[in-house]
Structure 1
Amino acid sequence: MSKILRDKRGYKLPEISIILTIFNGANTIRDTLNSIKSQTFKNYELIIVNDGSKDNTGELVEQFVENNKMMTIKFLNLNQNIGRSNALNLALKNASSDFIANIDGDDLWSKRHLELQVNNIKTHSEFDVICSDYYLLIGNEKTINNFIQSEIGDRMIDITKKVGRFNPINHSTVIFKKLLIEKVGGYNEDLKKLIDYDLWLRLKQQNVKIGFFPVKTCIKRIHKNQNYENKNPVDYAYKIFQMSAKSLINTRDYIGFFFAVSKFFYGLAPQHFRQSLKKVLYGK
């Protein structure tokens, strides 16, 4: 039985804080919020930052909060856009748990995502950041229902070294220790792109171990409204290569550098082609 944590006033604290930042996400936010609501693990708080959306995202979130008063939700509805890094750091500052889970405002979790990841971060204490596998949902493809595998297991793979060579982490699958993120200064507010990969690289430089749970517990959406990855695939792949190359040269990982070059050219291929190639090579 897990220990019940309480604050100085004796109030029960959540075991995990979920952070969700969103900008102009009216088309996806309801599905994302419902996937959080459906979690089998219930001892959490949800911190939502609406980063100055120009559409009706704020109204949709307010409706969800009003209709789900039994959930512990902190809704920060900003009038102006402060940028994703700032919004994520604001969410972190409002989190009361030692453990943080992130979900982007256009992604989805399986019902057992939190249950499995909370168990993983507690069971595998050697890792300070844990991510999981995921499905890609491209364009108007139908949502994958009941997508978690029946046989789960307890296997964890150390991907710390891989982080220096490319970005193997889906931001919506991570669970991490809040204290370590705070020690490296949180998300870099000077960056507007690849802020999550920058954070993983800085954590790796501090010898933080990163684990990968090889079970698909999340759906990542790829759609036309995405600001950067989908609209600028060449620049996206090049920026990742730049960041990884700098880290690899500093650590003299020349084999990793060659791998990063290969990954860069692979990243230039269209998303549909890459998914087809994965199915051919790995059957998934």
Structure 2
Amino acid sequence: MAENKEKNFVSAVVYLRDQQEMVQDFFEKLNRQLSAHFEHYELIAVNDGCIDETVVRLKKWAKNTLAAPLTIINMSLRQGLEPAMNAGLDAAIGDFLYEFDSMEIYYQEDVIWQAYQKALNGFDVVNVCP
């Protein structure tokens, strides 16, 4: 199956802010989509001062499930969405980057793949919103 997967390296940067109830489900869905389509990818989670169990649950999920690299960036204090996402983008090494500013999924999971296909058609930036 690996021969059918894309060779480009993909980075997914995800903003974390007190969403412990959805963190494992979101990363499970994201990982499923990326592993289905890409040989190599990384997940970057930016912890913007979570005070709940979001990071603990993410680490537990990753330890038991994830084969791809996971980087967790802990902001020294709450910075807000843009500075936190910029920190994640600075750490990303992918040829293509996905940014998720929320873990709430109001779209079909295959939108991740569709956005990549649009980028391959010559678009430098592909924006997806529900």
Same topology, TM > 0.5: yes
1:68 corresponding residue in structure 2:
65
2:112 corresponding residue in structure 1:
114
2:20 corresponding residue in structure 1:
26
Cα offset for 1:54? Answer: 0.9
> TM-score normalized by structure 1?
0.39
Alignment of 1:81 onto 2:78: yes
User: 1-side partners of 2:101 and 2:85: how far apart?
Assistant: 10
Task: Give the AA of the match of 1:119.
Answer: Q
Choose between structure 1 and 2 for higher RCO, CA contacts under 8 A separated by at least 6 residues. Answer: 2
1:248 corresponding residue in structure 2:
none
SS at match of 2:86: helix
Where does structure 2 lack aligned partners over 5 or more consecutive residues?
none
1:167-246 alignment, distance < 5 Å: 170=129
RMSD over equivalenced CA pairs, Å: 2.4
Map Cα deviations across residues 170-226 of structure 1 (whole Å, 9 max, x no partner): 2xxxxxxxxxxxxxxxxxxxxxxxxxxxxxxxxxxxxxxxxxxxxxxxxx5xxxxxx
Map Cα deviations across residues 65-123 of structure 1 (whole Å, 9 max, x no partner): 2123412211123452222111100000000013211123332263423322222211x
User: 1-side partners of 2:78 and 2:65: how far apart?
Assistant: 26
Task: Give the AA of the match of 1:59.
Answer: V
Alignment of 1:131 onto 2:127: yes
Preserved CA contact (<8 Å) 1:49 1:75: yes
Cα offset for 1:33? Answer: 1.0
Map Cα deviations across residues 104-160 of structure 1 (whole Å, 9 max, x no partner): 3332263423322222211x21x221134xxxxxxxxxxxxxxxxxxxxxxxxxxxx
SS at match of 1:45: strand
2:45 corresponding residue in structure 1:
48
Where does structure 1 lack aligned partners over 5 or more consecutive residues?
5-13, 133-169, 171-219, 221-284
User: 2-side partners of 1:55 and 1:75: how far apart?
Assistant: 15
> TM-score normalized by structure 2?
0.79
User: 2-side partners of 1:3 and 1:113: how far apart?
Assistant: 16
Residues 41, 2 of structure 1: alpha-carbon distance in 2 compared, 3 angstrom cutoff: closer
Alignment of 1:103 onto 2:94: no
Map Cα deviations across residues 4-54 of structure 1 (whole Å, 9 max, x no partner): 5xxxxxxxxx52211101111112222211210221323321110111111
Count of residues paired in the alignment: 123
Cα offset for 1:3? Answer: 8.3
Residues 53, 45 of structure 1: alpha-carbon distance in 2 compared, 3 angstrom cutoff: same
Cα offset for 1:2? Answer: 8.6
SS at match of 2:14: strand
Larger Rg: 1
